[in-house]
């Protein structure tokens, strides 16, 4: 039967879904009764800390939270974001103009191109990467130019490798450190080079900082806004999702350049009506807390990381201990593709991973594992890997 309507052209431009085969195989393996260990999902298995849940419970019972929220976010939440940026990064923000509340950072990332791009614009973005940079650009009619993240460059973009003609035409540059999926980190020296590059070519720098709080061995990932000139050329997206295990709550923020934020805010005020005030009140409690819940969370993730990566190394795999994020970027054995290795792990060991090429062509040669299962399951995964060889 033919469909009674033709979906919009832009939907036809969405790249083909590459995980169909893997989804089918996963269902087939599951149907065989195999106990699947899912290292594929980038979604914390641990609950939101109790004090945040309790704050929400009280806030939701207060009729004062039941009306339309303010478009750019509750003043109290924007002030809490400014306090947190000051305490965590030493970055001063004006909560009136340099902070905006988001319904999760994905929402802001997806909507930003509607506020900054004209059809046929070019946006630069690192690859492999979070697919939303590309999808948001596509929906705004802009082209995506992928900047490869390669191991020989420590998974940082090589600015010399970007064609100056492309750079001259580019409107924005999406980048993300600590990085999903490579787990690479960036220092302030790199951020300074990004500011220089964006200033030279008049490009809006768009940093996705979702993972700055998930770091190990005492490492403190910087904010892009810590470097001089950053807020003149760009903005930073952040989120409570990974920091406080709040992915389901939908709460994030964008900070930095006020003109870019105003453009995003204008789009948002015509599309959504802001994040639920009760959620923002819970967010204030999270940001204003002593952050011991974050340290406890990282300690759990670090133990899992040590078990998984230590075990993989012992088995001879080519892999590094990530300094941040809850991802492990594992090089596939020589002679295999990322898709082939993913299928192998699923069929032979009941382990789900994400093939690197599914997150962008330069991700070929790697699979992404997530530290989002308990340590006992990590051990079990290693035992199975040892058996299948």
**Exposed/middle/buried for residue 50 (C-beta within 10 Å: 0-12, 13-18, 19+):** exposed
- In degrees rounded to 5, what are phi and psi of residue 49? -55, 140
Least distance to ligand PLP from the beta carbon of 208, Å? Answer: 5
Establish if 104 lies at the interface with ligand PLP (CB under 6 A).
Answer: yes
Least distance to ligand PLP from the beta carbon of 103, Å? Answer: 8
Largest CA distance in the chain: 61
Q: Which is nearer to ligand PLP, 202 or 273 (CB)?
A: 273
- In degrees rounded to 5, what are phi and psi of residue 239? -155, 150
251 within 8 A of 229, measured Cβ to Cβ:
no
The pattern of x and - marking residues 10 through 49 that bind ligand PLP according to CB under 6 A reads: --------------------------------x-------
* Helices of type H across the chain: 9-12, 20-31, 50-60, 75-89, 105-116, 132-139, 164-169, 188-201, 230-233, 258-269, 277-288, 292-314, 338-349, 375-388
Q: Applying CB under 6 A, which part among 45-53, 235-243, 303-311, 339-347 lies near ligand PLP?
A: 235-243
Single out the residue of 131, 127, 130 nearest to residue 161, CA to CA.
Answer: 127
Least distance to ligand PLP from the beta carbon of 175, Å? Answer: 10
The pattern of x and - marking residues 191 through 210 that bind ligand PLP according to CB under 6 A reads: -----------------x-x
Rounded CA gap, 28 and 41, in Å?
Answer: 19
Strand bridging mode 351-352 / 37-38 = parallel
Q: Could you give the angle at the alpha carbon of 373 between the alpha carbons of 85 and 333, nearest 5°? A: 100
Q: Assign 336 to helix, strand or coil.
A: coil
Establish if 111 lies at the interface with ligand PLP (CB under 6 A).
Answer: no
Least distance to ligand PLP from the beta carbon of 181, Å? Answer: 8
259 within 8 A of 115, measured Cβ to Cβ:
no
Establish if 242 lies at the interface with ligand PLP (CB under 6 A).
Answer: yes
Establish if 144 lies at the interface with ligand PLP (CB under 6 A).
Answer: no
Site for ligand PLP in 248-267 (CB under 6 A): 252
Establish if 243 lies at the interface with ligand PLP (CB under 6 A).
Answer: no
Least distance to ligand PLP from the beta carbon of 110, Å? Answer: 9
Q: Applying CB under 6 A, which part among 103-111, 219-227, 295-303, 310-318 lies near ligand PLP?
A: 103-111
**Which position among 101, 180, 245, 338 is part of the footprint of ligand PLP (CB under 6 A)?**
180
Q: Which is nearer to ligand PLP, 283 or 311 (CB)?
A: 283
* Beta bridge partners of residue 54, listed in sequence order: none
Least distance to ligand PLP from the beta carbon of 237, Å? Answer: 7
| Residues lying near ligand PLP in the complex (CB under 6 A) | 42, 104-106, 130, 176, 180, 208, 210, 239, 241-242, 247, 252
């Amino acid at each position: 039967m033919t469909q009674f309507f033709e979906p919009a052209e832009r939907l036809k431009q969405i790249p083909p879904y590459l995980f169909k085969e893997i989804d089918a195989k996963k269902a087939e393996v599951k149907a065989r009764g195999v106990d699947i260990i899912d290292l594929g999902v980038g979604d914390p298995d641990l609950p939101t800390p109790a004090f945040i849940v309790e704050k929400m419970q009280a806030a939701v019972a207060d009729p004062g939270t039941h009306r339309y929220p303010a478009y750019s976010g509750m003043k109290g939440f924007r002030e809490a974001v400014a306090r947190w940026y000051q305490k965590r990064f030493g970055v001063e923000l004006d909560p009136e103009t340099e902070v905006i509340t988001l319904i999760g950072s994905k929402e802001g990332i997806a909507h930003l191109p509607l506020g900054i791009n004209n059809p046929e614009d070019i946006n630069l973005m690192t690859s492999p990467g979070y697919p939303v940079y590309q999808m948001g650009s596509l929906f705004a009619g802009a082209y995506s130019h992928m900047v490869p993240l390669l191991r020989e460059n420590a998974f940082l973009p090589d600015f010399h490798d970007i064609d100056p003609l492309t750079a001259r035409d580019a409107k924005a540059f999406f980048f993300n450190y600590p990085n999903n999926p490579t787990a690479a980190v960036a220092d302030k020296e790199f951020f300074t080079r990004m500011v220089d590059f964006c200033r030279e070519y008049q490009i809006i720098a768009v940093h996705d900082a979702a993972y700055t709080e998930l770091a190990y061995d005492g490492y403190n990932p910087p904010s892009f806004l810590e470097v001089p000139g950053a807020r003149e050329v760009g903005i930073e997206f952040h989120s409570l999702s990974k920091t406080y295990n709040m992915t389901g709550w939908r709460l994030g923020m964008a900070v930095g350049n006020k003109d870019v934020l105003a453009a995003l805010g204008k789009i948002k005020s015509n599309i959504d009506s802001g994040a639920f005030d009760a959620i923002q009140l819970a967010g204030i409690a999270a940001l204003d807390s002593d952050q011991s819940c974050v340290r406890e969370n990282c300690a759990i993730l670090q133990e899992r990381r040590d078990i998984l990566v230590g075990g993989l190394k012992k088995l001879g795999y080519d892999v590094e201990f990530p300094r941040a994020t809850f991802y492990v970027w594992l090089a596939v054995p020589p002679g295999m593709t990322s898709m082939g290795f993913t299928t192998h792990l699923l069929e032979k060991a009941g382990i789900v991973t994400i093939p690197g090429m599914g997150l962008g062509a330069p991700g070929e040669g790697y699979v992404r594992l997530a530290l989002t299962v308990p340590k006992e399951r990590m051990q079990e995964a290693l035992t199975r890997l040892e058996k299948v060889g």
